[in-house]
Structure 1
Amino acid sequence: MFYEFGLIGTTASGKSALAIKLASRLGGVILSLDSLCLYKEIDIASAKPNADELSQIRHFGINLVYPDEHFCVGDFIKEYFKAREFAMSNDIPLIITGGSGFYLSAMLGGLSPKLDDSPNSLSNSQIWELVLQNDPEFAAKFSQNDTFRMQKWYQIYTQTSQIPSLWLKQNTTEPIIKNLKIFDIVWDKDELRSRIAQRTKAMLESGLIDEAKGLFAKYPNDVKALNCIGLKESKEFLNGELGDIDPSLNSLNLNDKKSSYYKLFELISTHTAQLAKRQRTFNASKFKDKINVSFESGFEQILANL
């Protein structure tokens, strides 16, 4: 029987593993929400499901484009329709999972017309003054510390000459998905930090540095996808910015806290933990009706709530 549900959580929360386990039990397919897994060749840095996992369960949203190719939310929605059509035609469940809550939020909230990217020299506080003067509805909902929304508000304000809140109401499409049940894998912060450290170590041992070296040799360094966590720190490491490195790159010495290897490990772990915090805040603000589950008992909790 066709139905769909969402499985979200911070990075390193175990979304992919739980989604695969659920898909195997339910006979379903998976749509990845991950903004990195959609890129070919970025395999280790994206923590992409491995070849065996991809062969066991049909996945959508993975290995769609090369790192230097354009991909936007509109492209993702096309992939969603492709996944939904496949699931519906086979009368099986569709599990929508990943850490890029923006894609899910866009499908649940509708899309607004794309505006031109334009440079902006105003600070958040300067934009906030304009917000307070012109758009009290927006000011009541958001904070001046939300840089993305500040920039978006100013973009609409300057390009349309309208009050952004009103313009969005008039120009946002109907939601792509309605009444989606969403499960959120939650972890204690210290436990999650430990999982992040373990995953970072595993990524390094699996060849993250070599992956980064190959990608930066093949593509221009200003390609946006190569500025992701894991690759940008590896670039600093390869450039010697974290200290001297062993030219052979054959050993990862995490016992020497002064080594460039350990600095790389710490930098990736720290940046990943910071990302997890942002994801946790975003999910809490955007998906008010989500059902919190633990990783250990999430399988049973989700099955009981479907």
Structure 2
Amino acid sequence: MDIGGEEIFIISGPTASGKTAKAIELAKAVDAEIISCDSVQVYEFMDIGSAKPSAKERAEIPHHLIDVCHPSRQFSVGEYVALSKHALEKILKNKKRVIVAGGSGFYLKAWFSPVTDEIEIPKSVKDECQKLFDLGGSEALKEKLLSLDPEAADSIDIQNPRRIRPALERVLATSLTLKELRRKFESLPCPMGNFKINFKSTDMPDEELFKRVKTRAEKMIEDGLIEETKKLMSIGIEKNPSAAMAIGYRETMEAIRQNDFSNLAEKIFLSTKKLIKKQRKFLKTQIRL
């Protein structure tokens, strides 16, 4: 569907800043449906810890990209893009306005610019990299990458083992340097299409926001976060690093393992404060408004 010229609203800001409430209020005012931009709300059964819109709220305003993946399976940015494009086209076809609400980094960035290079890595390349790693670890991968691309250190943290293998795989698969790959990537169109963006921030002063975060952490525990997390552990959340590391759940799982819930709300609060700092930095440096 050609969506050129369409305006969509994007509501984002740090955790606990009121994105859901603002999105629902706006949706009622402009006759819109909401596409979630939250990397935890995509998972089924992760309700309390992700602060999903309530059943009543979702009955009032249709929400998309919520409860689309089992928590034992990792959900990718590529899947988010594909499902969001489908939801976007469906909403516009029904003559409704579109609101995107949430604050998850690369999900949000996908509405502004490319986030995946879609390079397919042949099995032969993966096997070659694995063989190198087996023989000499990350150092062997680094040496191979630098032999093919002497300026690789200008593009990635060459000392970070997690960065080296993907970089080497892409260089081997494409015969391009990392700088050439970056230029090619930056020339890609926005995966969601072309449209006008009306961006609305929900950020607020630290004193007010941190008070909300603390209150929300305490209420999540009162509402059954511990019981919800036990259920998630029983159905395989620990198989999925993305879901298992979600703030609120990772602290609760640790508390369950240690059978000590005395400082759980405080631990969730402190982790959320760190997340808020990262979210603000991401919005400032990565989102092209």
Q: 1:64 aligns with which of 63, 68, 76?
A: 68
CA distance in 1, matches of 2:29, 2:278: 31
- Read off the aligned partner of 1:47 and give its amino acid letter: A
Counterpart residue number, 2:103 = 99
How many angstroms does 1:133 deviate by?
A: 5.4
Q: 2:248 aligns with which of 223, 230, 236?
A: 230
CA distance in 2, matches of 1:196, 1:155: 41
Unpaired runs of 5+ in structure 2?
A: none
Aligned residues: 265
Normalising by the residue count of structure 1, what TM-score does the alignment of the two structures yield?
A: 0.75
Counterpart residue number, 1:267 = 267
Q: Secondary structure at the match of 2:201?
A: strand
Contact 1:16 1:97 in 2 (8 A): yes
Counterpart residue number, 1:279 = 279
Cα 1:193–1:122 change in 2 (3 A) is farther
How many angstroms does 1:86 deviate by?
A: 2.3
Normalising by the residue count of structure 2, what TM-score does the alignment of the two structures yield?
A: 0.79
CA distance in 2, matches of 1:102, 1:162: 24
Counterpart residue number, 2:208 = 191
CA distance in 1, matches of 2:285, 2:162: 14
How many angstroms does 1:160 deviate by?
A: 4.3
Aligned-residue Cα RMSD (Å) equals: 3.2
- Read off the aligned partner of 1:278 and give its amino acid letter: K
Q: After the TM superposition, which residues 85-164 of structure 1 pair with which residues of structure 2 at under 5 Å, given as runs?
A: 85-110=89-114, 111-114=116-119, 134=151, 138=155, 153=167, 156-157=170-171, 160-164=174-178
| Identical-pair percentage | 28
Q: Does 1:211 align with 2:228?
A: yes
Q: For each residue in 1:128-153, what CA deviation from the matched residue of structure 2 results, as whole angstroms up to 9, or x when unmatched? A: xx6x95158748xxx88999878765
Q: 1:42 aligns with which of 40, 46, 67?
A: 46
How many angstroms does 1:181 deviate by?
A: 2.8
Cα 1:161–1:18 change in 2 (3 A) is same
Cα 1:23–1:214 change in 2 (3 A) is same
Unpaired runs of 5+ in structure 1?
A: 246-259, 290-306
- Read off the aligned partner of 1:44 and give its amino acid letter: I
CA distance in 2, matches of 1:271, 1:145: 27
